[in-house]
Amino acid sequence: MPVERLLEIMARLRDPASGCPWDLQQDFRSIAPHTLEEAYEVADAIERNDLQALRDELGDLLFQVAFHSQLASEQGAFGFGDVVEAITDKLTRRHPHVFGDAVVADADAQSRVWERLKSGERAAKGQGGSALDGIPAALPALTRARKLGSRAAAAGFDWRDASGPRAKIGEELAELDQVIASGGDGPRQEAEMGDLLFSVVNLARHLRVDPEAALRRASDRFARRYAHLEAALASRGIEPAQAGAELLDRLWEAAKADIP
């Protein structure tokens, strides 16, 4: 079986006598950044709709799972099979409408059931102190903010609709303007900017927009438009720093028209 072959290779790489020196030096902490990198590369392949690359990147991510499992196995903690068993049990438990007799009306109802089940699991693990427990601090900031807002909303702390967070954005922007106008220091500006960004994430959540994906795509558009602007300036023999504001504005508008 392909998975068994992968696990055999992983064990060979970690063999103390004949394994790879680099692999033998690794531990959970040193491998974790590679795991995150591979997950982002999976997302990038999906964003580019490159299924060939997606196949390869999923393999790289699976190797990361095998690597962590091998490290845990060497410590007598768990193995790859235990990881598979844990996720299959969890999926069965969290889908009683598929593997049991429960009935859900739609995807929104299922999301609420999912959160209730996860809350029960956290409580069983002694993590029931707060509805926000268990959200990793190491998540990308926008993703963590969205998860915090979603978890609080599931517990009943939320606006009725998108008009609430939209109004909050105006309020937070006004507070940031006040700090700037008063000559507030860096920490105060950072705090108000953070509140503003958190409100934007809440608006995205109400609009069912993934803020991480939205910002990533906006950054991609900016990069493409800026390259377009650079090319237009180069055709005129002008460096961006030498171009006046009027020319830059005109070329930027042209780039936006060509790259919507």
Size of the chain in residues: 260
Residue 224 has which token pair? 């493409």
Q: How confident is the model at residue 116 (pLDDT cuts 50, 70, 90)?
A: confident
The share of the chain scoring above pLDDT 70, in percent, equals: 98
Neighbours of 255 (CB within 10 A): 20
Tell me what the pLDDT averaged over the chain comes to: 92
Report the alpha-carbon angle 232-226-250, nearest 5: 55
Specify the pLDDT at position 219. 95
Residue 128 has pLDDT above 90, yes or no: no
pLDDT tens-place string over residues 175-212: 999 999 998 788 999 999 999 999 999 999 999 999 99
Residue 223 has pLDDT above 70, yes or no: yes
Specify the pLDDT at position 106. 80
DSSP 95-136: -HHHHSS---SSHHHHHHHHHHHHHHHHHHTT-TT-TTTT--
Neighbours of 15 (CB within 10 A): 11
Q: How confident is the model at residue 85 (pLDDT cuts 50, 70, 90)?
A: very high
pLDDT tens-place string over residues 172-183: 999 999 999 998
Specify the pLDDT at position 67. 98
Specify the pLDDT at position 28. 97
Calpha distance 157→232 (Å, rounded): 50
Residue 114 has pLDDT above 80, yes or no: no
Lowest-confidence range among 29-38, 97-106, 144-153, 156-165?
A: 97-106
Residue 12 has which token pair? 């060979």
Q: How confident is the model at residue 127 (pLDDT cuts 50, 70, 90)?
A: low
Residue 12 has pLDDT above 80, yes or no: yes
Specify the pLDDT at position 126. 66
The share of the chain scoring above pLDDT 90, in percent, equals: 76
- Average pLDDT on 248-257 reads 96
pLDDT tens-place string over residues 150-180: 999 988 999 999 999 999 999 999 999 999 9
Specify the pLDDT at position 82. 97
Q: How confident is the model at residue 15 (pLDDT cuts 50, 70, 90)?
A: very high
- Average pLDDT on 70-95 reads 95
Residue 94 has pLDDT above 90, yes or no: no
Of the two residues 104 and 122, the one the predictor is more confident about is 104
